[in-house]
Amino acid sequence: MLQMPPTRSKLIAVSSQALKRVWDNDGPIPSEDRQRVHIETVSNILQTNLSNGRAQYAIGSDTRGITTSCLQQYGLRVATHYWAEHKRITALVAGDEKLWEELRRRLIHRAYHMLCTHAGLPSAAAYEQAPDHAQEACQRILRGRYPYDVPFYAWATRILINCVLKRLKRSSDLLDRGLFVELDVENPFTVDWSSKDHGENWQTLNTPESFSENIETRHLMLDAIEQLPSEAQRQVILLDFFYEWEDTKIAEALDKTCQAVYNLRYRALRGLKEILEHQEGLLKWTDNF
């Protein structure tokens, strides 16, 4: 058992080991000088996440100590997201207007569909309000600190949810009418929320808290599915759990045997379990942003 907090040398060692695993799987390997910079940066992230308690929350440990293996596992999670996102985050911090506008447009898209398909607002009202929600979320993202232990867009979406929910809670007229609703995913091969058909599959949700929990869970699940290693695994999961297709129908659609579908689902579920175990609960730490 490690005493909290781990020493600086321990964090450097964990960061080095984690990043080298990431580079082996997802190269190219940086020069030695750049390696040292990245290792130092990841160790700083780990130290911050340990200092504010986020890492312990993710690991499921109390404040007295964590095992070396748990710290290594968390370090690998941070290193993986760091390597995938560090260029984007560096550019955003530097004020890259193109990236900020891309993020803002994406958040406007998500805010619009949260308001239309989950909060039951008329399209015109949602269209008018979505940019304000997205702008507020961007400001909070700028002031916040991305922790690198969940996907960036899942973290950004949680901040957006907080902004939307905060305003909805202030609208007593909206809440009194109970207009929180949910739609199922319509297209199993994309996760673009703008492509939804409003159809007949509405389900009323009774509280704004249900709205928050439901849409956050949906985005977390879709972000986790996007992280599965193969397109075939992603397709099987979406067709099975979102469309509720039988294995024979999935096999026919994907031109595979039923046994292959079973194997793909088994591997995908194992992968999702690992991904979601790391992500579960972590986004709640953005509530203060």
DSSP helix/strand/coil, 245: coil
pLDDT at 199 (0 to 100):
31
**What CA–CA distance (Å, rounded) separates 56 from 87?**
27
Q: What is the pLDDT of residues 77-99, one digit of tens each?
A: 999 999 999 999 999 999 999 99
Q: What is the dihedral of CA 163, 169, 174, 180, to 10 degrees?
A: 70
| Statement: residue 154 has pLDDT above 80 | yes
Q: Are residues 146 and 24 in the same domain?
A: no
Same structural domain, 234 and 250? yes
Residues 134 and 255 grouped into a single domain:
yes
pLDDT in tens, 112-124: 888 887 677 888 9
Average pLDDT (151-164) is 87
Range of the domain at 213: 97-288
Residues 153 and 137 in one domain: yes
What value does the mean pLDDT take over residues 103-114?
A: 90
Residue 31 pLDDT > 80, yes or no?
yes
Asked if 61 contacts 70 with a C-beta cutoff of 8 angstroms, the reply is yes
Number of domains present in the structure of the chain: 2
Q: Region 32-41: what's the mean pLDDT?
A: 95
Task: Name the token pair of 48.
Answer: 């911050």
Q: Is the pLDDT of residue 136 over 50?
A: yes
Please determine, for residue 63, whether its predicted confidence score (pLDDT) is greater than 70.
no
Same domain, 82 and 101: no
Q: Which run of H or E residues covers position 2?
A: strand 2-3
Considering only residues 111 and 229, tell me which one the structure prediction assigns the higher pLDDT: 111
Q: Are residues 102 and 214 in the same domain?
A: yes
Which is higher by pLDDT, 70 or 219?
70
**Helix/strand/coil for 189:** coil
**pLDDT at residue 20 in the model:** 94
Q: Which of 48, 68, 93 is the last residue of a domain?
A: 93
Whether residue 9 has pLDDT greater than 80: yes
- 12 and 54 share one domain: yes
Co-location of 109 and 247 in the same domain:
yes
Same domain for 87 and 229, yes or no, is: no
**How far is it, in rounded angstroms, from Cα 36 to Cα 168?**
46
Residues 16 and 54 both lie in one domain: yes
Task: From 42, 60, 93, give the residue that closes a domain.
Answer: 93
Are 21 and 89 within one domain? yes
CATH number at 224 reads 1.10.10.10
Asked if 34 and 172 sit in the same domain, the reply is no
Residue 153 vs residue 95, higher pLDDT: 95
Query: Which ranges of the chain does DSSP label H, i.e. alpha helix?
Result: 8-26, 32-51, 54-59, 68-93, 97-113, 123-143, 152-170, 172-176, 208-226, 231-237, 247-254, 258-279
Of 29, 62, 93, the residue that ends a domain is: 93
